[in-house]
Chain A
Amino acid sequence: MSSPALQLATEDLSVFGVDPWWLVVIKAVFCFAFLVVTVLIAIVWERKVVAWMQLRIGPNRHGPWGMLQSLADGVKLALKEDLVVTASDKVVFILAPVISAIPAFLAVAVIPFGPADHEISIFGTRTTMQLTDLPVALLYILAAASVGIYGIVLAGWASGSTYPLLGGVRSAAQMVSYEIAMGLSFAAVFIYSGSMSTSAIVDAQKHTWFVCLLPVSFVIYVISMVGETNRAPFDLPEAEGELVGGFNTEYSSLKFAMFMLAEYINMVTVSAVASILFLGGWRAPWPISTFWEGANHGWWPLLWMIVKIQLLLFFFIWLRGTLPRLRYDQFMKLGWKVLIPVSLVWLVMVATFRALRNKGYSFGTDVLYVGGAVVVLLLLSIVWDMTRKREEPAAASPSEAFDPMAGGFPVPPLPGQQLPPVPRRRSRTTSQSVAALKGADEDAN
């Protein structure tokens, strides 16, 4: 108990990087195929699930239950006319979808699908179920995600059109600010696992998943991963109600398909990262692992990993089917004024907890200190809340006249305010003829 951090920090990556070249090729092809197939399934799955949520039937023409809809969509997209806008910057316009798709594929290289020792055998060679691992694997994932921003930003700019430009600017601001919250939630995991390598982080969750130890980090990560992948309710760069299609308005055919592919692959990647960081990675969920020893060995971990990824994908779809899109300022407020401060405070608490434990204080003392701090914070927030409430009724007094353009935007009336009467033409029943109506209007004027 005196030095758990030092014990955890000894990561052993010697099992990686010893595969023969053909095995590396097989694993790389598997990673690629896994992503593409998962995307194909996820698109149909998303349309079916959203349809069920909206009491529709959804795609049901191609194949059984419409399961081949994605293939049909892909063929349709490939056969469409490939437009390049005259006013665009041609090179960047063509480069942008490629830049957005390639980094999306990179991150999966360090995702572990199974334990980090030679448990499985492919064509007689014992190997790990992971392409490779780095001592800084999560920095690598973050770096790949941040390079992916360029695709969207450049697509928005190179289209030479207003709405795509707005979408590009939005996505730049959005992804940079949500990456901070994401990195902070990673940091809490690093403190507990003592390593940045994915296999070591999964190893550190042998007894307890980090979602139980670090629930706040998990919530923050889940929110920021939705923001990072531009998915509803945070899909502001492509908000079709405001920006036509956002950054991809001017794109068609395979270039558009590449943007969609990148978006869905990013969803798969962040789901995989979520399950690695917080949900025990390839480990079998709790009740199964208690009575079945073999659940975490052999090829079975692949199953648990895929199930976890699919559940997280379902969560994405569920969000999309449930929540309306945020307004941009609400979204930025959520990122900068809620997620980042909360994760900073939480990170300090986690670090304090670990430091106390490294010093050898008992668990009870930890709980006392941390719980005391939480109670003090809660009390402070209650006091603040009470003082704030006292001012509120004065501020929200309904005596003010309703200003339909308050602050430069058209706004609905506040509670207690009355809409001004809408000027309407009197109904025909009072004035029988058009001429009479005219006369009445002139009288009124």
Chain B
Amino acid sequence: MTAALAASLSSQGHSFLSPTGVEIVFVLVGLAVLGAAVLTVSTSQLVHAALWLVVALGGLAIEYLLLTAEFIAWVQVLIYLGSVVVLVLFGLMLTRAPIGRSPDADSGNRWVALGLAVVAAGTLVTLVVDAFRCTWMDLPASGSTSVNGSTQANGEVLFRYWVLPFEALSVLLLAALVGAIVLSRRHREEG
């Protein structure tokens, strides 16, 4: 498995990371992502939560790069880091997020939620173990470009097989735009 991944990685121009290099980067970045995610949901300073979210999402972009999904990785940086979290920060400022701790950041059901979380995490991880432990996934032969997530490959698949969902998404975006404008319009007649 390792050799196959390394071979396919090196065949796609990522030869500067040896297999162990990929593993090390994966583990380090994965730990950083998990830590940042935990801080996002646990810190009581609202803007800091957004900043930790930036760290987590940026780490995920690196994971995408490790998975050779180059286009998705940069789109992740562009959409999530560049727009979504900036909008979230914008919302935090509009709703007057204070500097320092917000005492009522967490609701009262913290312990129930933690118990549920442990159960859910256990279920999901067991599920993954159960589903994929014995399944030997075939990585594509080295040199095949079918999983190379370059812009060209993505574009070909997107506009050859996924055109209809793509068009539907454009309608969705338009609806969201109109919806946001209608929602945020000030009703003058009501004062």
Contact = CB atoms under 8 A, between A and B. Distances in A.
Whether both chains belong to one complex is answered with: yes
A17 B83 CA distance: 30
B93 A165 contact: yes
A336 to B, nearest CB: 10
A160 B150 CA distance: 43
Interface in B66-105: 70-71, 74-75, 77-78, 81-83, 86-87, 89-90, 93-94, 97, 99-100
B142 interface: no
Given A136-B151, A158-B99, A179-B82, A147 B77 contact: yes
| Size bracket, chain A contacts | 20 to 34
A140 interface: yes
Contacts of A202: none
Chain A contact surface mostly: helix
B51 interface: yes
Contacts of A165: 93
B146 interface: no
Contact of A89 (B54, B83, B100): B100
Contacts of A156: 93
A172 B83 CA distance: 9
A157 B94 contact: no
Contacts of A169: 90, 93-94
Contacts of B78: 139, 142-143, 146
B47 A176 contact: no
Contacts of B71: 136, 139
B152 interface: yes
Contacts of A317: none
Nearest to A197: B151
B13 interface: yes
Nearest to B87: A176
A237 to B, nearest CB: 13
A89 B82 contact: no
A88 B98 CA distance: 10
Contact of A143 (B74, B93, B94): B74
A205 B46 CA distance: 48
A17 B150 CA distance: 17
B61 to A, nearest CB: 9
A142 B83 CA distance: 11
Given A92-B51, A150-B86, A169-B94, A140 B74 contact: yes
Interface of A: 9, 17, 87-89, 92, 134-136, 139-140, 142-143, 145-147, 149-150, 153-154, 156-158, 160, 165, 168-169, 172-173, 175-176, 179, 196
5 contacts: A145-B82, A147-B77, A157-B89, A176-B90, A179-B83
Q: When A and B form their complex, which 10 residue pairs have the shortest distance between CB atoms, in order from nearest?
A: A146-B82, A143-B77, A139-B74, A89-B99, A172-B90, A143-B78, A160-B99, A136-B74, A169-B93, A135-B150
